[in-house]
Structures are given as C-alpha cells and as structure tokens.
Amino acid sequence: MEKEFEEIEKRNEWNALYQAIRIESLQHDYTNQESKKKENRDLNRYRDVTPYDHSRVCLQRLGTEDYINANLVEVPLAGRKYILTQGPLAATVGHFWLMIWEQKSKAVIMLNDLVGRGQVKCHQYWPAFIGAEDDLDEVRLRVRLVSETKSEHYVLRSCLLTDEDSQESREVLQFHYTSWPDFGIPQTPASFLKFLFDVRDSGAFDMNVGPPVVHCSAGIGRSGTLCLVDSSLVLLETGKHSANLTIKDVLMEMRKYRMGLIQTTDQLRFSYESISKGAEIIIRPSLPSTASDSGFSGSTNELRQRQSNDVANKAADQQTQVTSQTSSAPNNNNHNPAEARVRERQARKRKTEENIQRIKERQRQQEERSRFQAKLVRLGGIGLAIIVGAGLIYSYLTQGSHPSGLGSHSSSIPPPIGSFQGP
C-alpha cells in the first residue's frame, strides 16, 4: 500500500483512478428514503448528499424524529469506526450534540471553516467564548466551552456536555483543522499528518469510547480523506494488510456506508500521498535529519524544495529530536524499528495527556471562578436588600415622627384631575 502513490504518480493515472472509483460506486443500490421524507428534507445541507438508510445514525431521545444526516462508517479490518456527518445547520445543532451524547463520542473532528468564498459552510455549533454555555432545550442538553488552545494548524477546544435529565457531564474534544483551503488541499501532508497523530494520541479512536464524529461541510470530501488516510495507516501499522489489498479497496469499502467519499481527483491524490508519507513515519521512524515534510524522507527535488517551507521545517525539527532521543537509548534499542515506534507513540501520547491535563486544570479553575462570582452576586443581592430595607424603615420612621410634615408640602401635590381652571 505504501508504494501505490509512487506507482500511480509515475503513470499520472489519478484522473483515471478517480473515474474508475466513481463508476464502480454507481453499482451500489443502497437506498436513502429517510432523507427524502418531507419532514427531513430541510435537515440536509445539500440535497444531493444524503445518508444511506442501512448505515444512518438514528437519534433515540426524540422518538420518531430520529433523522440526522450522518452515517456510521466502518473499516472492520482496521478495527475503525467513524461517524461522518455534514456541518450542522442552525436547525440541527441540537441534533448534532444529541448524536455525540448518545453515541458516546469523545471527539469531534472539524475539517472546514464556517464560511468559504462567501457561503456558510457550517453553523457555529459550539459556544461563542470560553465560559459561555448554550442551552439545547429541544434535546435537553447544554454545552459549555471550557477552553480553546490555538496552534499553527488547528484549534483544540474542550467542551463540557451535560444531560439535563441525568445531570451527567462529559468532556468532548473538538479538533478543528484550519489549514485546509476551501476548494483545495493542504500544501503538503506534513501538518495534516501531525494533526491526525495528535487526534489519535488523544484517545479519540479508543475502543472504550464511541466513534469520533468527523465532518466538513457535506461530510464526504475532506471527511472521507481523513478516514481513508487513518484506516490505511492502521492497516500498515498493524500489518493486517495483504499484498493484494489496495488503498482503493479500503475506499470502496468505506463508500458502502456513505456516498461520495473523496470528491475530487486532488483529494484522492492527497490521500495516497499522505498514506505514503505517513507510512514512512510508522514503518521507518528513524529518519535522517535532512528529511523533509515533517521528517518524511524523499528522493525527488519536489520533496527537497518543500523542506524550505516553514511548517515542514518546524515539524522536521520535532521529528529530528524524537529520532535523536531514540538513537541515544540504551541497549541498542534504536536498531529495533518496532521498539522505536512504540517509544515515539508513547512520547506523543504523554504530550497529549499533558495538554489534556492542562485543559482539565483550566476547566477546574474556570468552575472555581464561576462559583466565586455566583457567591459574590448572592452576597451583593443580600447587601442590596439590606440597604433598601434600611432606607424604607428610615423613611417610615422619619415620616411617622412628623405627622404635620405632609401638610407643609401640600402645595406640591398636584390637584385632582379636572380641578385645573387655567389662567
């Protein structure tokens, strides 16, 4: 699988491959009748991108109103499950969070901007600022933005999702990739692969949590790209792929669950290139310091030119540090690629765990500040009530001690209606 990119690139057969995938996918006879029902039509962002009936995610809390434009996509050989969905509409934000709650998803992976070329691609479904809370009365949930950490290529947000019925709360991580230009592809696989590995290290794909929710605008192009790259790298990493298994086979399997995954020839080529470069990290982690593309080795002039890219250089420096640490390990373990991969994954996992711990600490501090502010408000209210009460008592006592005082100001009292005679 890791050699497919070079072979297709040499023959320049990307368009032919993409057209072959499209034609083969037309043979699928899966239905999408639920999406065509009158009550569900307006819940689809695009009329021509709808979920297959056999794999659609069904909401449970709303009774017969169980529709959401989302599919459960499975790659059994890789042991992967993903929920692919469209960017929420204003009317479906509650449904989106309810799906996350019911499916027990730990992470949301967002691959698009809210607006692209003047068109709304996704409604902002998370609270507007840290500490803000949105009440989703329709689905009896509320969501609060706990923290927001910005890096060069993505934003990590931590949200606290609470069920109003049980008062149970869960942390939901949102990984928002911001380096994918609209109607294009990332410049190199470097930042994209780092993003994917960071998502992996967060535990978003662990077996003890629900499938991650992956979305772009339609939930098929960029979303399909990420899932194809991830599942293919899992197959390479675990050695579960056979000599006859191709990346195309993996994509065709995924397309049985949601229509149209990977929308363009460029996205297809980028997927293959990312798998090829990712395989170099997974299978051959100990790379020379001259490697480009976030530590990716390459023999072509193009790869060497990409080394000058600032993003690639920073990622390459990180990879060089990991390689240096690996080479200095005792007992000559650096000559064992499997052990080197384990150490690399452990290092990435430790870093992610530290980030998550920092997020939780910020969450605790925010909760303490909120409780303190609420206490101040209560004390202020009590103090105000005491002051107002004292003022009323003083006024009453003052008036009571001068019964004739009211008469002395009788001239300031307006005459009854109708008694004014005029000049």
Q: Mind listing the pLDDT tens digit of every residue in the chain (423 residues)?
A: 768 999 999 999 999 999 999 999 999 999 999 999 999 999 999 999 999 999 999 999 998 899 999 999 999 999 999 999 999 999 999 999 999 999 999 999 999 999 988 899 999 999 999 999 999 999 999 999 999 999 999 999 999 999 999 999 999 999 999 999 877 899 889 999 999 999 999 999 999 999 999 999 999 999 999 999 999 999 998 887 777 899 999 999 999 999 999 999 999 999 999 999 999 888 765 444 333 343 333 333 333 333 334 334 444 444 444 344 444 444 444 456 556 656 766 776 676 566 556 655 665 676 677 677 777 777 777 877 788 878 788 777 776 554 444 444 444 444 444 443 443
Dihedral pair phi/psi, residue 154, rounded to 5°: -155, 165
Output the pLDDT for position 386. 85
Tokens of 217: 């605008």
What span, in angstroms and rounded, lies between the C-alpha atoms of 75 and 84? 13
3-state secondary structure of 387: helix
Calpha distance 94→138 (Å, rounded): 7
pLDDT at 209: 97
CB 75 within 8 A of CB 253: yes
Tokens of 372: 């303190």
Q: Where are the domains of the chain?
A: 4-283
Contact status, residue 42 vs residue 65, Cβ threshold 8 Å: no
327, amino acid identity: S
As separate numbers, helices (DSSP H) first and strands (DSSP E) second, the chain gives: 13, 10
Q: What is the pLDDT of residue 282?
A: 80
| CB of 294 closer than 8 Å to CB of 316 | yes
CATH number of 4-283: 3.90.190.10
Positions annotated as catalytic residues are: 216
Q: How many CA atoms lie within 13 A of 17 on its CB side?
A: 24
| Sequence-separated contacts (24+) of 144-150 with Cβ below 8 Å | 146/171, 146/359, 146/362, 146/363, 146/366, 147/359, 147/362, 147/363, 147/366, 149/355, 149/359
Predicted confidence at residue 379, as pLDDT, reads: 78
Check the CA dihedral 323-328-334-340 and report its sign: negative
Amino acid 334: pLDDT:
47
State the pLDDT at residue 403. 46
CB 136 within 8 A of CB 93: yes
